[in-house]
Structure 1
Amino acid sequence: MSNEIAPTTARLQQDVAAAETSVDDTLITISTLMSSVVAARRDTPGVPVVKGHATIRRLATAQLALVDLSGDIHRVHGDLVDIGRETAGYDLHECPKTAGTNVVPLSAVA
């Protein structure tokens, strides 16, 4: 087993968590923007409904893309857990953060 596994695992663990959080934060931000756009269309006289509708549809498309992205990131998380089990021989059923272990295995990248 390489001496580089622990630092690599720690880096991947931070990077995966950061990616998951970033996607969630972006989804929340886009959802907030969607609410603001719909409210503005409703509350602002003279805004053409067609233009407002097109903007709302674009935001909805962006939201769906983020939901797909989130799913892909979570699948990457699972893939990295599997790689950690295969490569480093770790037998964890959960990531260390939720499993309550102090070991930093490669599978913890997930």
Structure 2
Amino acid sequence: MPQTKLMAARLQQDVPAAEAKVDDAIIALSSLMTSMVTARRESGVPAKTGQATILRLAKAQMSLVDVSSDVLRIHGDLIEIGKETGSYDLRDCPNGSAGTTPHLAAVA
């Protein structure tokens, strides 16, 4: 297999893996947020307790959403580069990756 095809094959594995890991991180922070707010409510402490920490976590979540957007844009850029060089076939793109970018942008 030519070097270009090997690189394209690796990217076709690495890009969706990176997208999935960012999603996993967003899910993990969302679970942490749920646990923190639930613990605050169930402990009976005043609502202001831990508010700065909750705000910091919300900012971290938004940072990951920004990262996710950038990774999706990178995916799209790589597809375009692959089309230009003839080394990346869009049909090989896994379902749910590049094709979801417009939907995610509409939700965000």
Query: Residues 95, 69 of structure 1: CA spacing in aligned structure 2 closer, same or farther, 3 A cutoff?
Result: farther
Change (3 A) 1:77 1:51: same
After TM superposition, where is structure 1 displaced by more than 3 Å over at least 4 residues in a row?
47-51
> 1:22 matched to which residue of 2?
21
Provide structure 2 residue ranges, at least 5 long, that are not aligned to the other structure: 96-108
Count of aligned pairs between the two proteins: 95
TM-score (norm 2): 0.78
Deviation at 1:14, TM superposition (A): 1.0
Partner of 2:7: 8
The letter for the 2-side match of 1:22 is: K
The counterpart of 1:96, out of the listed 87, 92, 96, is 92
Q: Which has the larger radius of gyration?
A: 1
Q: 3-state DSSP class of the match of 1:50?
A: coil
Taking every aligned residue pair, what percent have the same amino acid on both sides? 51
Question: Larger relative contact order (C-alpha < 8 A, sep ≥ 6)?
Answer: 1
- Deviation sequence 1:28-79 (CA, Å, 0-9, x none): 010000000000010113x454341111101100110011000000000000
Task: Give the CA RMSD over aligned residues.
Answer: 2.1
Structure 1 length normalisation: TM-score? 0.76
* Separation (CA, whole Å) in 1 of partners of 2:8 and 2:18: 15
When residues 5 and 69 of structure 1 are mapped into structure 2, their CA distance, relative to the original with a 3 A threshold, is same
Match of 1:44 in 2: 43
The residue that corresponds to 2:74 in the other structure is 76
